[in-house]
Structures are given as C-alpha cells and as structure tokens.
Structure 1
C-alpha cells in the first residue's frame, strides 16, 4: 500500500494580490490567484483562455496587476489604498511652497 502526499500550493491572499508589482510572471502568481496548477495555467494562456490577458516578453509570459485585480474584484480596494497612501504622504507642517497664486520670477541677474 503506497501513500501519496500531494503538495498543496498556497492560494494568493488579498494582501499579496494588492502588493504585486505592476507586471509579474503568469506562473506562479496567476495560477495561485485562480487556484490552478502550472500546466493548466500555461495551457490556458497558450489557448488565450485565461480570464486576464497575458503579454509575451521574450520567452516570459507576463500579466498586469490591474487586470488581475479587476478580475478578482479588488480594483476598488486597490484604489482606496492608493488614495489612503497619498493622503498619508501629505504633510501640512512641512516647509515648502505655500498654496496660492503662482509667482513669476525674472531670470535676469540683478547684479551689475
């Protein structure tokens, strides 16, 4: 009697999906997100049957984060995180340009 132990791959979490780079390899990322294996991922990509478009870059098959997030229904959550990060970067106490009308400055030297 033989026992086989199948190795279960880890599914892609929401946090991992939101932290993906702009472009990434189709395998393993898309496979993990869709919970399909390597062979099935490449076969679906070859048949143009993956739910997100794939881009061939040399010998690599790549996918865009925006396409994957859109398919997974996470595009609104990703947009909210971007807005949250942008507002956190604003610092009203920082020295710099004051709000108001732009001031035109002369480029001529004032020394004689």
Structure 2
C-alpha cells in the first residue's frame, strides 16, 4: 500500500465522484493530507457538513463541491459555441 502523497482531484474527477466520499477523497479534493481533514473534523472546522456513519466519516459530494466553490452544473465549452437559441432551449423549464 502506498503511503505517499496523492495528487489533488482534477475538476473532471470532481464530477465523477459518488454521492458521498470518504476522508481520503475529501482530502484530495481539498489538496491536503487526510490527517489534516481528521484534525479539522475533531476541531469542528471542516468547511462543509459531514455525516457520521458508524465509526466512519462520509462527506456529501455536493457539499464538498460547494465549499470549494465548484458549481454543481458545469458549463462545457461545447455549450459556449452553440447558438444562443439552442442554449436557451436546454434551460427552458
């Protein structure tokens, strides 16, 4: 098992996460080590709501993304190049 540092999550990887993530994944998203996340949790200064499931922490992905300032509806470059009427149709309710 590797104990070395892992690279932070990319923007694309953030949108591929499951509904909730573990401490290691949240640490990658924040660009810190898991020990820092555990320290934040103990001090109750973690930047978003956390679930306690049994003896484990689970962080809702949507809350983690909000804490990082990531919009839950990404804009893809393809949408930027489409005519305005196509984009308006996509967002019509």
Same fold (TM over 0.5): yes
Structure whose CA Rg is larger? 1
2:64 match: secondary structure: helix
* Aligned mates of 1:18, 1:30 — CA distance in 2: 13
User: Quick check: 1:18–1:69 contact (8 Å CA) kept in 2?
Assistant: no
2:73 match: secondary structure: helix
What is residue 4 of structure 1 aligned with on the other side? Answer: none
Residue 56 of structure 1 deviates from its aligned partner by 0.4
What is residue 91 of structure 1 aligned with on the other side? Answer: none
Residue from 68, 73, 79 that aligns with 2:73: 79
What is residue 24 of structure 1 aligned with on the other side? Answer: 21
Flag structure 1 segments of 5+ consecutive residues without an equivalent.
1-6, 85-112
Residue 59 of structure 1 deviates from its aligned partner by 0.9
Flag structure 2 segments of 5+ consecutive residues without an equivalent.
80-93
1:79 match: secondary structure: coil
Residue 8 of structure 1 deviates from its aligned partner by 3.3
1:61 match: secondary structure: strand
C-alpha distance after superposition, 1:56-95 (max 9, x if no partner): 00011001011011112222xx3247xx9xxxxxxxxxxx
* Aligned mates of 1:47, 1:74 — CA distance in 2: 24
Deviates more, 1:7-16 or 1:52-61: 7-16
TM-score, with normalisation over the residues of structure 1? 0.58
